[in-house]
């Protein structure tokens, strides 16, 4: 029995209910070895080829903490404006599951390495929202189950499962927000923007490749509704398996619609973990746990406390790169872009490209013109990211220099660019090979001007008569004769000179 | 009056994933009750002002450099497995969503 | 060569170095002894004939080639089956690991191998080291060589019996609440629990992580010191491993053997020498104290008032940590897998059936107790409070070590009881460890050596020292051993009944 649940129209739901969201993000650190042992962490390796006795949880094995993982956790904590613990410990979270080789996970319980922070999240329209961060802590990842025999590889109806422990033991940092309230109908957008901002921070810090589609970044989305902002918090659900930014937004939206329908019917929302389905755009309940999971946390006896010295934390704080949002604000001011212009650049992922192009000598305006104009169009057509196009910011800089020096005009430059994209070489090389370049030799131009005047004899008379308009057709003819490679301004001068001469 | 009932022992056995027969359950409940009463005496002397010690030797900050080492050969990793398939551990079907 | 098996490890080492005897001869002599008596003693779960002889041959070859060898090279050793040995079955005395062959060696095994010590086999033990009599082994009882109807102690009864029966000159044990020291006491052998962190736990199948320590089992104090130096020292694979270098343990043993303890303050722990202790046990203890006084030691009484709560704290901390450490045994990756006899075969139900079938009673008892103690709502009252008692026990030791250089007590309240005698009463069994448990809680080192007989059965004398001062154990132990053996006219084991040899 599975009837689709009722859904309230979204606008209606947010008009009558106040959503409160909470987001837990897990990020896989890009360390060379695992959290508690030296097993390698290469993506995509054949199953069970990246395990040691420790990551397999063999009897007798013992964990040893990865220094770089701790550094990364502290960096993340600092980037999120958290306090860094003076002393913290690891704890065992005990539960049985085949992808957890010890049947406990080494995590942190009441002593996380970072806590009480905040993050300013900028939405697309420029609104900034401060999200409060409750904590960030370190833990190890579990292995991966593949379910065999059921429909679509899902767990229901599967006959058996296959487990690969390559991922077991990979370092994770879990970041938990405090309840995010007061966002109203923008809740889905806020959730999405928060996860995206975190992703940019992870990349900016260099602690993770942070690719959601690879599972480097995982988000669990919590949502509850209440009749009004003054009412106490409602019952919340937790939705897992949210594997992209878009899913984050859609899952929040869906849960708002679903919970509103439940509440409208006078029923209570069940506190449960739900599973997001990308294909149907819905959430379904997970198994109802009769045994409200008692994890029996206790301090990990095989590890000793971690007491990051204040000197070490200071050293790491000094290593913090500028946070993305602050950096964008600074660059926007330097470049003189308007708000919408900068936002477009950020959303297109073109900040670094433009930065490098400017460093290669182009003006910010010119750099933006190329990357957000011609190149963005090309990327769109090809269906690739801007950064994946076969042209470098340095080459764009070179191209712009050719325009600035008068060797190319815009139209020619675009032809040269096409050549570069086709792999014909650098802008200089393409211009030379294709014979593209503005003709600046007056002698050659005069010859073309004379020819054009000769071909349209009545134009000269008209122009001498005081009507400059027809000059355009002479210029046009000259441009055509020179295959567009004449400097139109100079041609105009020469045409008028010639006409006036006689 | 028992401190730890038969039902409680059954619940704990479930939490610990240990199947117990009825007679085991009865016997264990009796034995555990005696033990629990004996060990409950710790609360008498463990007052609020006494800190807990989880590690006998006061070590801290034991860290390892982030260097990958030789993993176990995959055949060694799988050698003792009751069942394998395609280089993975084969386990009976899992009922719960993770 | 008949007397090869009666020699101490130190003597064998000398004989090997001088060329009097080869490693192969020594190994073979012990393998022959095992074949002759282990049918009755059952100290061994697995005998590594081929591996032991291969190591022995290699040592002999290297010696002939003039290579530099470790002092103990060629001296064979038995290893408690809780220690992981690559390519050699390791069961921890449990059915749930029946036939499990580890793909790696424990750090201490790597050190034994590096020293060129042939491993004779894996010894019997209480399942997962939970017990004081080895009767909880899934593979049958081990019998005390002094009286085959009696327990050899536990959990390391196999290692102690092997050494007491001259099947090995040395053995490795592990001690979580007395599992090296108590078997030593009831078998007339020597055993040390090092300072916590003094010997790597990497490769020890874990029972209680904050209490477990591996240590030497031998027939003499000097032998224990020699073995302790082989296996001790920092291991980067064990985060709880001490970085301090070991003190000079062998030097301390040699010093002690001259019998002079002038200036050494010996503290008698009031709470570890009272009711419930057999009269003969207390008598041997008092006699030993007299010998120490005669050697120049100053004997004082010290009070450790919180020791009376140590047993309760231990039986909360151990089961809690063990319940978590043993969760991994679920039939998914190694070891026994049992399917439920009826109903759907799911991972969850296979786990339950496997653990129900694979674990013995004592293990089930302690896992459930530990699960209870860590449960939401019970944590503070049980596990939390037990860790506070631990603090109090540590403070008691600290105060006592202000007044004395070493603390002493009888190792165990009784001599070896009969097999089956205490099986029905878990609490009665737990009381065997009342004198040894405080040291594990605090992490301080302890040694047991034979102090005589009571009605024909061995009695043990326990020496405790401050953390990292393991050398004091060996100095005082060696002194007492020398004085006692002077009185006995030889080692205590010389008075043990001859075991019937099966041809």
pLDDT tens digits for range A359-402: 998 999 999 999 999 999 999 898 888 888 999 999 999 999 99
**CATH value at residue B23:** 1.10.20
Distances (CA, A) of A441 to A407, A446, A483, C163, C350: 11, 9, 15, 105, 89
Give the count of beta carbons closer than 10 Å to the beta carbon of residue B51.
Answer: 10
Residue with the bigger pLDDT between A323 and C38: it is C38
Interface of C with B in 377-406 (CB under 8 A): 381-382, 384-392, 394
- Structure-token pair, residue C351: 């786990």
**CB contact, 8 Å: B23 with chain C?**
no
Residues A262 and A388 occupy one common structural domain: no
A301 to chain B, closest Cα gap in Å = 7
C372 to chain A, closest Cα gap in Å = 9
Answer whether residue B18 is part of any domain.
yes
Q: Which residues from chain A sit within 8 angstroms of residue B15, using beta carbons?
A: 291, 294
Catalytic residue numbers of C read 80, 155, 179
Q: Which residues from chain A sit within 8 angstroms of residue C97, using beta carbons?
A: 59
Residues A286 and A328 occupy one common structural domain: no
Rounded distance between C-alpha atoms, residue C54 and residue C49, angstroms = 9
Concatenate the DSSP letters of all residues of A401-428 into one string: HHHHTTS--HHHHHHHHHHHHTT---HH
Mean pLDDT over residues B73-92, rounded? 96
Q: Which residues from chain C sit within 8 angstroms of residue B5, using beta carbons?
A: none
Instruction: Name the residue of chain B whose CA is nearest to A302's CA.
Output: B55
Answer whether residue A494 is part of any domain.
yes
A327 to chain C, closest Cα gap in Å = 41
Answer whether residue B85 is part of any domain.
no
Q: At residue A11, does pLDDT exceed 50?
A: yes
Q: At residue A288, does pLDDT exceed 80?
A: no
DSSP annotation of C140: -
Residues A81 and A175 occupy one common structural domain: yes
Point out the residue among B21, B81, B92 whose CB comes nearest to the CB of C350.
Answer: B92
Answer whether residue B87 is part of any domain.
no
Per-residue confidence band for C110, with pLDDT thresholds at 50, 70 and 90: very high
CB pairs under 8 A between A and B: 139
- Structure-token pair, residue C487: 């009185």
Question: pTM for this one?
Answer: 0.88
State whether ipTM is beyond 0.85: yes
**CATH value at residue C100:** 3.90.1300.10
Mean pLDDT of chain C: 96
**CB contact, 8 Å: A304 with chain C?**
yes
Q: At residue C298, does pLDDT exceed 80?
A: yes
Mean pLDDT over residues C222-237, rounded? 98
First to last CA, chain B: 40
Range in A272-286, A433-447, C55-69, C131-145 with the lowest mean pLDDT? A433-447
Instruction: Name the residue of chain C whose CA is nearest to B55's CA.
Output: C210
Contacts of A339 (CB under 8 A, 6+ apart): A126, A332
Concatenate the DSSP letters of all residues of C8-48 into one string: -HHHHHHHHHHTSS-HHHHHHHHHHHHHHHHHHH--EEEE-
Q: At residue B19, does pLDDT exceed 80?
A: yes
Which subunits have 3 or more CB–CB pairs within 8 Å of chain C?
Answer: A, B
Answer whether residue B30 is part of any domain.
yes
Point out the residue among B61, B63, B88 whose CB comes nearest to the CB of A163.
Answer: B88
Q: Which residues from chain A sit within 8 angstroms of residue C100, using beta carbons?
A: 59
B1 to chain C, closest Cα gap in Å = 18
pLDDT of residue C1: 47
CB-based contact B96 A48, cutoff 8 Å: no
Task: Give the best residue of B16, B19, B58, B98 to mutate against chain A (max A CB count within 10 A).
Answer: B98
**CB contact, 8 Å: C322 with chain A?**
no
Instruction: Name the residue of chain A whose CA is nearest to B57's CA.
Output: A304
Answer whether residue B74 is part of any domain.
no
Answer whether residue C67 is part of any domain.
yes
Reduce the DSSP state of residue A441 to 3 states and report it: coil
- Structure-token pair, residue C85: 């040995």
Find the length of chain C.
503
**CB contact, 8 Å: C385 with chain A?**
no
Give the total number of structural domains in chain B. Answer: 1
Rounded distance between C-alpha atoms, residue C491 and residue C483, angstroms = 11
Point out the residue among A60, A63, A301 whose CB comes nearest to the CB of C321.
Answer: A301
CB-based contact A101 C330, cutoff 8 Å: no
Pairing of β A91-94 and β A282-285? unpaired
Q: What percent of chain C has pLDDT over 70?
A: 99
Q: Which of A385, A405, A425 is the last residue of a domain?
A: A405
Residues A370 and A238 occupy one common structural domain: no
Q: Angle A324-335/A351-359 helices, nearest 10 degrees?
A: 50
Q: Which residues from chain C sit within 8 angstroms of residue B42, using beta carbons?
A: 309, 312-313, 316, 382, 385-386, 388-389
Residues A64 and A122 occupy one common structural domain: yes
Q: Which of A405, A433, A468 is the last residue of a domain?
A: A405
Query: Hey, CA dihedral for B27, B32, B35, B41, is it positive or negative?
Result: negative
DSSP annotation of A82: P
Answer whether residue C346 is part of any domain.
no
The H-or-E segment that residue A381 falls in is helix A376-382
- Structure-token pair, residue C239: 């985060």
Task: Give the best residue of C204, C239, C350 to mutate against chain A (max A CB count within 10 A).
Answer: C239
Range in A145-154, A418-427, C75-84 with the lowest mean pLDDT? A145-154
Rounded distance between C-alpha atoms, residue A471 and residue A479, angstroms = 12
Give the total number of structural domains in chain A. Answer: 3
Contacts of C423 (CB under 8 A, 6+ apart): C135, C429
Instruction: From C124, C130, C132, C93, select the one nearest C428 (Cα to Cα).
Output: C132
Q: Which residues from chain B sit within 8 angstroms of residue A306, using beta carbons?
A: 60-61
Instruction: Please write the tens of the pLDDT for every residue from C160-192.
Output: 999 999 999 999 999 999 999 999 999 999 999
**CB contact, 8 Å: A94 with chain C?**
yes
Residues A382 and A475 occupy one common structural domain: no
**CB contact, 8 Å: B35 with chain C?**
yes
Q: What percent of chain A has pLDDT over 90?
A: 68
Give the total number of structural domains in chain C. Answer: 1
Give the count of beta carbons closer than 10 Å to the beta carbon of residue C351.
Answer: 28
Q: Which of A268, A301, A316 is the last residue of a domain?
A: A316
Residues A236 and A376 occupy one common structural domain: no
CB A186 within 8 A of CB A252: no
Point out the residue among B9, B42, B59 whose CB comes nearest to the CB of C385.
Answer: B42
Answer whether residue B76 is part of any domain.
no
The H-or-E segment that residue A220 falls in is strand A217-226
Residue with the bigger pLDDT between A477 and A113: it is A113
Pairing of β A237-242 and β A273-277? parallel
CB-based contact C328 A59, cutoff 8 Å: yes
pLDDT of residue A3: 61
CB C113 within 8 A of CB C105: yes
Rounded distance between C-alpha atoms, residue C199 and residue C232, angstroms = 4
Concatenate the DSSP letters of all residues of A49-80 into one string: SS--TTTTT-TT----EEHHHHHHHHHHHHHT
**CB contact, 8 Å: A110 with chain C?**
no
**CB contact, 8 Å: C103 with chain A?**
yes
Q: Which residues from chain B sit within 8 angstroms of residue C345, using beta carbons?
A: 92-93
Per-residue confidence band for A154, with pLDDT thresholds at 50, 70 and 90: low
Q: Which residues from chain C sit within 8 angstroms of residue A53, using beta carbons?
A: 102-104
Rounded distance between C-alpha atoms, residue C176 and residue C206, angstroms = 10
CB C430 within 8 A of CB C311: yes
Query: Hey, CA dihedral for B83, B87, B92, B96, is it positive or negative?
Result: positive
**CB contact, 8 Å: C351 with chain A?**
yes
Point out the residue among C237, C238, C327 whose CB comes nearest to the CB of A96.
Answer: C327
Beta bridge partners of C265: C298
CB C386 within 8 A of CB C317: yes
Instruction: Name the residue of chain B whose CA is nearest to A158's CA.
Output: B93
Residues A34 and A157 occupy one common structural domain: yes
Residues A286 and A330 occupy one common structural domain: no
- Structure-token pair, residue A333: 């001011």
Rounded distance between C-alpha atoms, residue C339 and residue C326, angstroms = 19
The H-or-E segment that residue A255 falls in is helix A245-264
Residues A371 and A286 occupy one common structural domain: no
Point out the residue among C103, C195, C369 whose CB comes nearest to the CB of B76.
Answer: C103
* Structural domain boundaries, residue A488: 442-501
Distances (CA, A) of A88 to A109, A300, C135, C481: 10, 11, 41, 46
C171 to chain A, closest Cα gap in Å = 19
CA B47 to chain CA centroid, nearest Å? 27
Answer whether residue A166 is part of any domain.
yes
* Structural domain boundaries, residue B38: 6-45
Rounded distance between C-alpha atoms, residue A196 and residue A183, angstroms = 17
> Is C345 buried (19+), middle (13-18) or exposed (0-12) by CB count in 10 A?
middle
Q: Which residues from chain B sit within 8 angstroms of residue C322, using beta carbons?
A: none
Instruction: From A404, A224, C85, select the one nearest A413 (Cα to Cα).
Output: A404
- Structure-token pair, residue A191: 């959730």
Rounded distance between C-alpha atoms, residue C460 and residue C351, angstroms = 42
Residue with the bigger pLDDT between C227 and A447: it is C227
* Structural domain boundaries, residue C481: 4-262+442-495
Residues A19 and A142 occupy one common structural domain: yes
Residues A73 and A170 occupy one common structural domain: yes
Range in A448-457, C91-100, C386-395 with the lowest mean pLDDT? A448-457
Answer whether residue A437 is part of any domain.
no
Answer whether residue A1 is part of any domain.
no
CB-based contact A298 C240, cutoff 8 Å: no
Mean pLDDT over residues C181-208, rounded? 98
């Amino acid at each position: 029995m599975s009837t689709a649940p009722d859904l309230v129209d979204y606008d209606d739901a947010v008009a009558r209910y106040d959503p409160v969201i909470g987001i837990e993000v897990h990020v896989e650190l890009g360390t060379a070895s695992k959290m508690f042992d030296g097993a390698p962490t290469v993506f995509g390796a054949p199953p069970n080829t990246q395990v040691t006795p420790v990551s397999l949880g063999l009897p007798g094995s013992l964990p040893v903490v990865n220094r770089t993982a701790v550094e990364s956790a502290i960096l993340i904590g600092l980037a999120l404006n958290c306090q860094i613990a003076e002393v913290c410990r690891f704890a065992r979270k005990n539960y049985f599951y085949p992808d957890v080789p010890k049947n406990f996970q080494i995590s942190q319980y009441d002593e996380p390495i970072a806590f009480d922070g905040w993050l300013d999240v900028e939405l697309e329209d420029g609104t900034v929202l401060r999200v409060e961060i409750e904590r960030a802590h370190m833990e190890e990842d579990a292995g991966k189950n593949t379910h065999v025999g059921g429909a679509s590889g899902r767990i229901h109806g599967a006959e058996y499962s296959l487990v690969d422990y390559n991922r077991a033991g990979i370092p994770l940092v879990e970041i938990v927000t405090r309840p995010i309230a007061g966002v109203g109908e923008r809740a889905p957008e806020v959730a999405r923007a928060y996860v995206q901002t975190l992703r940019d921070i992870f990349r900016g810090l260099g602690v993770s490749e942070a690719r959601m589609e690879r599972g480097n970044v995982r988000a669990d989305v919590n949502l509850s509704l209440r009749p009004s902002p003054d009412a106490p918090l409602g019952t919340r659900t937790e939705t897992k398996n949210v594997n992209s930014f878009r899913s984050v937004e859609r899952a929040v939206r869906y849960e708002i619609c679903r919970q509103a329908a439940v509440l409208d019917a006078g029923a209570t929302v069940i506190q449960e973990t739900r599973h997001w389905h990308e294909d149907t755009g819905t959430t379904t309940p997970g198994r109802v746990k009769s045994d409200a999971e008692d994890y029996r946390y206790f301090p990990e006896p095989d590890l000793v406390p971690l007491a990051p010295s204040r000197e070490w934390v200071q050293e790491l704080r000094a290593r913090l790169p500028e946070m993305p949002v602050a950096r964008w604000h600074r660059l926007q001011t330097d470049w003189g872009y308007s708000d919408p212009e900068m936002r477009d650049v950020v959303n297109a992922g073109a900040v670094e490209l433009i930065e490098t192009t400017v460093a290669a000598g182009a003006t910010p305006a010119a750099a933006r013109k190329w990357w957000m104009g011609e190149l963005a169009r090309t990327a769109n057509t090809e269906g690739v990211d801007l950064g994946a196009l076969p042209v470098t910011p340095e080459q764009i800089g070179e191209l712009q220099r050719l325009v600035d020096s008068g060797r190319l005009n815009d139209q020619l430059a675009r032809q040269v660019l096409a050549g570069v994209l086709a792999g014909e070489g650098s802008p200089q090389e393409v211009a030379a090979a294709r014979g593209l370049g503005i003709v600046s030799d007056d002698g050659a131009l005069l010859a073309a001007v004379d020819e054009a005047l000769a071909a349209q004899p009545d134009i000269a008379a008209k122009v001498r008569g005081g009507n400059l308009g027809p000059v355009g057709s002479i210029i046009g003819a000259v441009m055509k004769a020179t295959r567009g490679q004449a400097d139109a301004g100079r041609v105009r001068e020469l045409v008028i000179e010639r006409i006036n001469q006689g | 009056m028992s401190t730890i009932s038969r039902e409680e022992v059954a619940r704990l056995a479930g939490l610990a994933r240990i199947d117990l027969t009825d007679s085991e359950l009865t016997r264990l409940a009796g034995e555990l009750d005696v033990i629990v009463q004996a060990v409950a005496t710790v609360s008498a002397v463990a007052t609020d002002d006494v800190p807990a010690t989880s590690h006998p030797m006061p070590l801290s900050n034991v860290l390892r450099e982030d260097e990958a080492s030789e993993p176990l050969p995959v055949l060694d990793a799988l050698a003792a497995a009751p069942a394998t398939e395609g280089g993975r551990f084969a386990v009976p079907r899992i009922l719960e969503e993770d | 060569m008949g007397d090869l098996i009666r020699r101490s490890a130190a003597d064998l080492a000398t004989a090997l170095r001088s060329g009097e005897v080869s490693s192969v001869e020594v190994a073979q002599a012990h393998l022959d002894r095992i074949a002759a008596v282990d049918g009755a003693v059952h100290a061994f779960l697995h005998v590594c004939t081929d591996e032991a002889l291969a190591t022995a041959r290699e040592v002999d070859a290297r010696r002939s080639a003039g290579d530099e060898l470790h002092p103990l090279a060629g001296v064979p050793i038995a290893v408690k089956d809780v220690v992981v040995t690559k390519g050699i079955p390791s069961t921890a005395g449990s059915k749930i690991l029946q036939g499990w062959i580890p793909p790696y060696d424990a750090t201490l095994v790597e050190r034994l191998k590096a020293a060129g010590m042939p491993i004779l086999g894996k010894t019997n033990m209480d399942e997962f080291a939970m017990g004081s009599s080895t009767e909880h082994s899934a593979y049958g009882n081990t019998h005390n060589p002094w009286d085959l109807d009696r327990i050899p102690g536990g959990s390391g009864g196999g290692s102690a019996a092997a050494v007491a029966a001259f099947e090995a000159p040395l053995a490795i044990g592990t001690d979580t609440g007395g599992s090296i020291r108590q078997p030593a006491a009831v078998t007339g052998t020597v055993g040390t629990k090092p300072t916590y962190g003094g010997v790597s736990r990497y490769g020890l199948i874990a029972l209680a992580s904050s209490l477990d320590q591996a240590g030497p089992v031998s027939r003499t104090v000097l032998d224990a010191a020699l073995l302790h130096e082989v296996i001790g020292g920092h291991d980067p694979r064990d985060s709880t491993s001490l970085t301090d270098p070991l003190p000079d343990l062998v030097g301390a043993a040699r010093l002690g053997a001259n019998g002079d303890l002038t200036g050494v303050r010996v503290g008698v722990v009031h709470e570890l020498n009272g009711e419930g202790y057999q009269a003969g046990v207390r008598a041997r203890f008092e006699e030993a104290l007299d010998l120490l006084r005669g050697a120049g030691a100053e004997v004082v009484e010290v009070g450790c008032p919180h020791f009376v709560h140590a047993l309760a704290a231990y039986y909360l901390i151990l089961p809690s940590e063990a319940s978590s450490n043993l969760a991994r045994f679920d039939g998914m990756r190694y070891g026994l897998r049992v399917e439920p006899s009826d109903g759907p075969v799911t991972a969850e139900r296979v786990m339950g059936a496997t653990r129900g079938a694979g674990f013995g009673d004592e293990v089930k008892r302690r896992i459930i107790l530990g699960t209870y103690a860590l449960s939401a709502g019970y944590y503070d009252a049980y596990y939390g409070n037990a860790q506070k008692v631990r603090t109090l026990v540590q403070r008691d030791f600290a105060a006592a070590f202000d007044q004395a250089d070493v603390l002493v007590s009888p190792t165990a309240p009784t001599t070896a009881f009969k097999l089956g005698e205490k099986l029905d009463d878990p609490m009665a069994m737990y009381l065997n460890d009342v004198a040894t448990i405080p040291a594990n809680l605090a992490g301080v080192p302890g040694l047991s050596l034979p102090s005589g007989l009571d009605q024909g059965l061995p009695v043990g004398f326990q020496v405790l020292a401050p953390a990292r001062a393991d050398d004091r154990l060996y100095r005082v132990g060696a002194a007492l051993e020398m004085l006692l053996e002077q009185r006995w006219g030889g080692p205590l084991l010389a008075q043990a009944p001859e075991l019937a040899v099966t041809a």
